[in-house]
Amino acid sequence: MESGDDKVHGIARADVERYVRIHQGLERYGSGTRSDQATAFYLKHLVKPAVEQARLVSDRPPTKVDLLVSLSGFTPTPAILAYELLEPERMVVIASEAAQRSIDVIHYHAVQPGGRLRPSQFRAMDCDPTDPMSIYRIVKEELDRLVRASRSKPYAIIDITGGRKVMSAAAALAAWQLKLDLAYMEGEFDQNTRHPIPGTDRMMILDDPNIIFGEQEMSRALEMFRAGAFEAARHRYEEICDSIVVPVHARFMRGLSEMYRAWCDLDMEALPEAVESVRQTIGNVRRTVGADYLDTLEQQVAFVRRLVAGDRDAMALCFFVLGLHYQEIGRRDFAALLYYRTIESCLTRRIHHRFGGLDPDRPDWGLLGDATAAKRRYSALAHKMGWHNGPPPKLMLIACAVLLAAERDAYAEQCGFHSLAGLRRLQDLTRVRNHSVLAHGFEAIGKEQTEALRDRAKDMLTAFWTLHGEDRDLDLMLADLRFLRADR
């Protein structure tokens, strides 16, 4: 956020722009590499206002810091910012052999005239970045030394910002074993310099090292996700995104959970935003989830967009997919309702396609040719079904089936309800849903009844898809549209 035309993120704009030019080699500042020159300029002109800005937004330690352990890489600025913000009584800098030059810069800033530490209060230690025990031993020995000197447990914190990934992982394990807090400096990165933008730094203090990677919390959220509790999973992933340092996969899973939640609820208002969230985060996990997983997910995103666009043929397929999902998690009443809706959608969509866009909610009998003759044919078959009131103002499920049978439609013959006996079998099966607690009755749906509705819905969907669907095999589409279990 800019605070004025002459400042950016609370720091003089001219200094920030000059810092960028030095990094890019467009301006010199002293000697050494471009990185050395930029660091020298940063420490001379930017570190003080950057620290002042960071203090406004950073976490505060719970007490005075007796010991700061900082991991250092090729750039010393993260360790220096941590030193300035935490103001420790002692500091240990751990670096690999390849990052020794950074130690000199940190030492000069913390110990030399102007620094707060005496030489005896600063130590620099080498570590083997490939040995997880190396950092643990260094921290443990330093803690033991302080305990012996003061006869009390010091408050120590490990700053993992500057270390390589493997060093940070080892430091997190050490903190977990030793029950220490972790600190991490985050900030916005400049695409040109590939360094944090001065003034955007914020220190996070993590009192549970597990939230560096969030593996345990991610596992708990994944259990909710796999159980089909997508809203609970979305909420949990939301919390994880706000608490871990690297939330890339959590953001992706948050978006996927919300898309599945909105899809299950047929929440058409929330679906567009949910799909967009998945689309924006999917690129960040391409390397970790696998090509097959991504291909399936992209098929699902494309299908959900069809639902959002109002594709009613796709909705018939959607009802069946959701029925399979609810049956799988043991919600048979919901599954039966969705299989019923599959059958109903196939019938109403067939009528729409067969009779020039006829709307079952407001049937225009003239679309069948001679409206009087069409009504007569319908009424004759309806009378055999035991109905004596003539054509209804609105065609419900069985009424749609009667109309198609009366018109000798090919779909009715393919699905076996072209005869009076076939119509009655369909009517008897759909009454199961009508007597359930989610419709007009109080009966629970049994396993066999659910499976019978599923098989009937599948047969009718298959026949409908042959007539009006896509060239792609329906079983392959159903496999792609089953909710992913996110095993990765």
pLDDT in tens, 331-386: 888 999 999 999 999 999 999 999 999 999 999 999 999 999 999 999 999 999 99
Residue 184 host element (H or E): strand 181-186
Contact 480, 250 (CB under 8 A): no
pLDDT for res 3: 46
The C-alpha R_g of the chain, in whole angstroms, comes to 33
Pick from 6, 92, 79: nearest CA to 39: 79
Give me the mean pLDDT over the 43-50 stretch. Answer: 92
pLDDT value, residue 126: 87
pLDDT at 122: 95
In one-letter notation, the amino acid at residue 6 is: D
What is the C-alpha to C-alpha distance for residues 11 and 52, in angstroms, rounded to an integer?
A: 10
Q: pLDDT digits over 188-222, tens only?
A: 877 666 678 888 999 998 766 555 556 777 888 99
Res 283: pLDDT = 80
Q: Which tokens sit at 186? A: 């985050």
**Residue 159 DSSP SS3:** strand
Give the amino acid at 226.
Answer: R
Q: Is 62 in contact with 40 (CB distance < 8 Å)? A: no
pLDDT band at 86 (very low <50, low <70, confident <90, very high): very high
At residue 11, φ and ψ (nearest 5 deg) are -125, 145
Does the model's pTM come out above 0.85?
no
Domain boundaries, the chain: 7-212, 215-283, 313-481
pLDDT digits (tens, 9 = 90+) for 421-461: 999 999 998 887 776 766 666 677 788 999 999 999 999 99
Q: Domain 7-212, CATH 1.20.140.10 — does that match? A: no
Q: At 159, which amino acid appears? A: D
Distance CA 276, CA 298 (A): 12
If pLDDT is split at 50, 70 and 90, which confidence band does 170 have? confident
Helix (H, G, I), strand (E, B) or coil at 164: coil
Listing DSSP states for 63-83 in one string gives S--SEEEEEE-S--HHHHHHH
Comparing 410 with 283, the larger pLDDT belongs to: 410
The H or E element that residue 95 is part of is strand 90-95
Per residue in 370-380, pLDDT (tens digit) is 999 999 999 99
CA nearest 106: which of 88, 96, 120, 92? 92
CA distance 268 to 261: 11
- Is 132 buried (19+), middle (13-18) or exposed (0-12) by CB count in 10 A? middle
Q: Is the pLDDT of residue 187 over 90?
A: no
Q: What percentage of the chain has pLDDT greater than the value 90?
A: 58
CB contact at 8 A, 59 and 203? yes
Average pLDDT over residues 270-296: 86
